[in-house]
Structure 1
Amino acid sequence: MTPADPDPFDPSAAEDMVIRPFLLTGGRTRPVQDGLRVETLIHAREAVSSAGLRFEHRQIVQLCREPTSLAEISAALKVPFGVARVLVSDLVADGSVVVTQREELSIQLIERIRDRVRAL
């Protein structure tokens, strides 16, 4: 081990270690579950045990005890959004989490919001 290499047994160095995104997703770039958007809310099922899940999946289930957006999951795990989407889609497919889609905003509501922001 050279002086520039982080000590693998030092807990503070663990945060600096980089894991390639393709290792987290098993090389997959497309989610199993289609339609997961940035604002999609994810909620863990009550009876789900995170004991048998991989590390990242277990983190997602723990994060989603309360409804959490896909963007928040991505930020909390410090992974690219596409990676978070693949990981969450795996959990949706096995029934560990549930997806709640928010209804899309109407054009009228978007225009009202725009007008009020301009008025500020």
Structure 2
Amino acid sequence: MTAPGRDEDDDPARLFTLTGGRAKASGAAAALDLITLVSSVAEPVAGMPSEHAAVLRLCRRPTSVAEIAAHIRVPIGLVRIMLSDLLDNGAITIRPPRTAMAADSDTLPDSALLRQVLVGLRDL
């Protein structure tokens, strides 16, 4: 029986083996935040831990670190360590999400057009 709010999958020994006993991610993965997007560039291979394979399948489309943790039901810190391993092996790529501030000004709508849309919406 498990305590309320805990999963049977939260076995400390299982989590320890997932990370090889490491407590922190290394390299570029150490700076991952919850909204960093992860994309797989490789397919799962035989002998790979099932959680790593699940991440690769899940990330066929860009997926945030928070979504990965929720889907595979592993704490964020451990997901970062797993992503560090996959990044070191060249199995994934990471990138920050695109924001309006980072977008080219040519691709953003004209502010005058946005004002006209707002006026039109208010008139409805």
TM-score (norm 1): 0.67
1:105 and 1:26 map into 2 onto residues whose CA distance is: 39
Q: Deviations over 1:75-105 (max 9, x none)?
A: 1111111001100111011100000113577
Range 70-79 or range 30-39, more displaced: 30-39
Aligned equivalent of 1:56: 51
**Residues 1-120 of structure 1 correspond to what in structure 2 (within 5 A)?**
16-20=8-12, 21-32=15-26, 33-45=29-41, 48-52=42-46, 53-102=48-97
Report what 1:114 is aligned to. Answer: none
Secondary structure of 2:93's aligned partner:
strand
Per the TM alignment, residue 29 of structure 1 is displaced from its structure 2 partner at its CA by 1.0
Classify the secondary structure of the residue corresponding to 1:34: helix
Structure 2 stretches lacking a partner, 5+ long: 2-6, 102-124
User: What value does the CA root-mean-square deviation take over the aligned residues?
Assistant: 2.0
- Cα shift at 1:49: 2.5
TM-fit CA distance, 1:16: 3.6
* Higher CA-based Rg: 2
Q: Which has the higher helix share?
A: 2
Unaligned segments of structure 1, at least 5 residues = 5-14, 107-120
Q: Please, what TM-score do these two structures have when normalized by structure 2?
A: 0.65
* TM-aligned CA distance change 1:105 to 1:36, over 3 Å: farther
Aligned partner letter, 2:25: P
